[in-house]
Amino acid sequence: MTPAGTPPHDLDDPEKLAAADPSDFLRAVEALPAQLGEAIGLARAVDDLPPAEGLTAIAVLGMGGSGISGELLRSVLAPLAPVPVVTIRDYDVPAWVGPGTLVFAVSYSGDTEETLSAFRQAAARGARIVAVTTGGTLAGEAAAGGYPVVLVPGGLMPRAALGYVGVPPLVVCGRLGLAPGLDAALDEAVEVATRRAAECHRSVPAASNPAKALAARLVGCLPLVWGSEGIAGAAAYRLKCQLNENAKVLAGWATFPELNHNEVVGLYRSGRDLAPNPAPFGVVVLRHEGEHPRTSRRIDVTRSLVSDSVEFIEDVWARGSSPLARLLDLVTTGDHASTYLGIIRSVDPAPIAAIDILKAALG
């Protein structure tokens, strides 16, 4: 939370904004639409993809800013792909990973130990692997093993490289015929994200900038990000992580309908009545027109139920007609808003000392 009495940062003052974001992290956030387009080209150019015949599952191996690519793929492919898609954020792969599994080993640095461990296990089990990385150990070992590698540009914080790490698995699944209509969806996603990024750009004043407005609402709140299971859930998880890393705040996330069966009770002081919990919850609900109708109804009922016990509850609606475009639209707003919240809180959005120190301590 922002300490009481901290003056709100003027996001519309370019000099103050530059001073609060010395490495210009915001520029990388603003570049997401261009990155999406570039990543599509890189992934379309990779040769020697594994066959799709006899595939039984798709697994994405990756942690943090790279692992989110698994949530993108899982949520977009769920209604399309003939096999399940699972994200694995751990050292070990489940027992079912084998020759029938298409595995994406995704690590921006190429040196994340959990991803490398899972990659090696998947290789030992004969899985069909595609690596996505800027280089590092993963690129070397994948190339040595004869697996295709989508090499993406380096020099970014992994969480600012979502286009580079998130798009190649989608493109590869499209090329393998696992996700009909994905090419058109990718084109629409670039267009929708471009439009949203323009609206959220630093040059657009807070009065008409949805990301600046959302960041301002979150000041002093404990953010809870909700979305319906699927693409909004994936975007909610992304925003929760971006609030952690860009704004340096704790945040919660949960999905409908599941949150109606647990999290909603935590907004109250007691289970006997609706006496509000004193914590200053600020609830952001990520919405899109493809929600299950009963989930939309649940969101309406939940809003009226909790509105007295939270600082605010606000819907953020996705644009676009395809699930992928809607997902990337929500991500674009959230990435900008979390960065602006860091700036408002006078914390540099870029550094993530806790992660760096942990990695160094673990060798």
Which residues would be at the binding site for ligand PA5 (CB under 6 A)?
63-66, 107-109, 112, 115, 157-159, 245, 352, 355
Please report how close the Cβ of residue 161 comes to ligand PA5 at its closest, in angstroms: 8
Q: Which residue has the tokens 């323009």?
A: 198
SS3 state at 228? strand
- Closer residue to ligand PA5 (CB): 69 or 228: 69
Please report how close the Cβ of residue 245 comes to ligand PA5 at its closest, in angstroms: 5
Q: What's the DSSP call for residue 276?
A: B
At 163, the amino acid letter reads: G
Q: Which residues pair with 60 in a beta bridge?
A: 87, 104
- Closer residue to ligand PA5 (CB): 158 or 342: 158
- Closer residue to ligand PA5 (CB): 152 or 254: 152
CA 142 vs. chain centroid, Å, equals: 25
3-state secondary structure 45-67: CCCCCCCCCCCCEEEEECCHHHH
Please report how close the Cβ of residue 235 comes to ligand PA5 at its closest, in angstroms: 17
At 162, the amino acid letter reads: L
Nearest residue to the partner ligand PA5, using Cβ: 64
- Closer residue to ligand PA5 (CB): 68 or 286: 68
Question: Shortest CA distance to 227 belongs to which of 284, 281, 282, 286?
Answer: 286
- Closer residue to ligand PA5 (CB): 65 or 320: 65
299 within 8 A of 228, measured Cβ to Cβ: yes
Please report how close the Cβ of residue 72 comes to ligand PA5 at its closest, in angstroms: 14
User: How far apart (Å, rounded) are the C-alpha atoms in residues 340 and 269?
Assistant: 31
Does 9 participate in catalysis according to the annotation? no
Catalytic position from the list 16, 191, 199, 359: 359
Note if the bond before 22 is cis, omega within 30 degrees: no
Count CA within 13 A, CB hemisphere, residue 313: 18
Question: Shortest CA distance to 70 belongs to which of 103, 35, 30, 28?
Answer: 103
Question: Shortest CA distance to 153 belongs to which of 3, 31, 313, 276?
Answer: 31
Does 201 participate in catalysis according to the annotation? no
Please report how close the Cβ of residue 6 comes to ligand PA5 at its closest, in angstroms: 25
- Closer residue to ligand PA5 (CB): 157 or 325: 157
Does 212 participate in catalysis according to the annotation? no
CA angle 98, 103, 105 (to 5 degrees): 130
Please report how close the Cβ of residue 237 comes to ligand PA5 at its closest, in angstroms: 12
292: its two tokens: 């299950």
Please report how close the Cβ of residue 73 comes to ligand PA5 at its closest, in angstroms: 15
Stated as kind and residue range, the H or E segment containing 237 is helix 231-246
Catalytic position from the list 9, 245, 248, 288: 245
Q: Which residues pair with 223 in a beta bridge?
A: 282
- Closer residue to ligand PA5 (CB): 73 or 299: 73
Q: Which residues are catalytic?
A: 245, 261, 359
